[in-house]
């Protein structure tokens, strides 16, 4: 009887018994999730790409930061995915030089490339999961990567994943305890 009462109370409150609330960042630089952000407004800020083929790939003027952007799967006009890294993350794609300083791209909480794992945990709490990167997983970080035998840049050692029951996800890749890539998405 008590269990039925507790379940009824949970359901009437609008919360699901095993719901996972998203605790990650909502913005990385001008790229934001959960706001129906138009992809063209982000591209206008960074610099118009020379091609209309996604993902849109950029590098910083000093060649030390790299970014790719893509639209939502079923809403091509909306911003869906962004990945910022300290290593080249596009292969066999046109790469534009960003009109803005990519080293300034941080979350609202000040997390950016080079932040420590402790800083990320302090800002967002316990992640949904922690993964270990090996040669075969997290190849998707490099857009346009070919066969599994293709040598890729070092993508880090571990990943903290923040995911909720909605479409938002944030992933922080770490190399030697420091953020080497950030993925932020609102996609299916």
Structural domain includes residue 37: yes
pLDDT tens, residue by residue, 117-173: 999 999 999 999 999 998 778 988 999 877 666 778 889 999 999 998 888 999 999
Q: Is the previous residue joined to 15 through a cis bond, with omega within 30 degrees of 0?
A: no
C-alpha–C-alpha distance, residues 171 and 22, integer Å: 12
| Per-residue pLDDT at 4 exceeds 60 | no
Structural domain includes residue 75: yes
Provide the domain count of the chain: 1
Let me know the angle formed at the C-alpha of 117 by 113 and 121, rounded to the nearest 5 degrees.
115
Structural domain includes residue 10: no
Structural domain includes residue 78: yes
C-alpha–C-alpha distance, residues 68 and 81, integer Å: 8
Structural domain includes residue 13: no
Where does 34-165 show beta strands of DSSP type E?
Answer: 56-59, 66-72, 75-85, 95-97, 129-132, 158-163
Domain range holding 181?
22-186
pTM: 0.86
User: What is residue 148's predicted lDDT score, i.e. its pLDDT?
Assistant: 67
């Amino acid at each position: 009887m008590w269990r039925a009462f507790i379940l009824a109370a949970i359901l009437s409150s609008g919360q699901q018994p095993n719901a996972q609330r998203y605790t990650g960042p909502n913005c990385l630089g001008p790229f934001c999730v959960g706001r129906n952000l138009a992809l063209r407004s982000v591209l206008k800020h960074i610099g118009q790409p020379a091609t209309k083929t996604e993902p849109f790939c950029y590098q910083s003027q000093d060649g030390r930061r790299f970014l790719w952007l893509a639209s939502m799967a079923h809403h091509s006009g909306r911003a869906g995915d962004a990945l910022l890294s300290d290593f080249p993350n596009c292969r066999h794609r046109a790469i534009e030089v960003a009109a803005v300083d990519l080293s300034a791209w941080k979350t609202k909480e000040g997390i950016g490339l080079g932040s420590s794992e402790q800083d990320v945990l302090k800002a967002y709490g316990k992640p949904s999961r922690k993964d270990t990167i090996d040669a075969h997983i997290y190849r998707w970080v490099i857009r346009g990567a070919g066969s599994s035998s293709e040598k890729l840049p070092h993508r880090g050692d571990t990943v903290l994943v923040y995911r909720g029951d909605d479409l938002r996800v944030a992933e922080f890749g770490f190399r030697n305890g420091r953020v080497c890539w950030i993925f932020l998405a609102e996609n299916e």
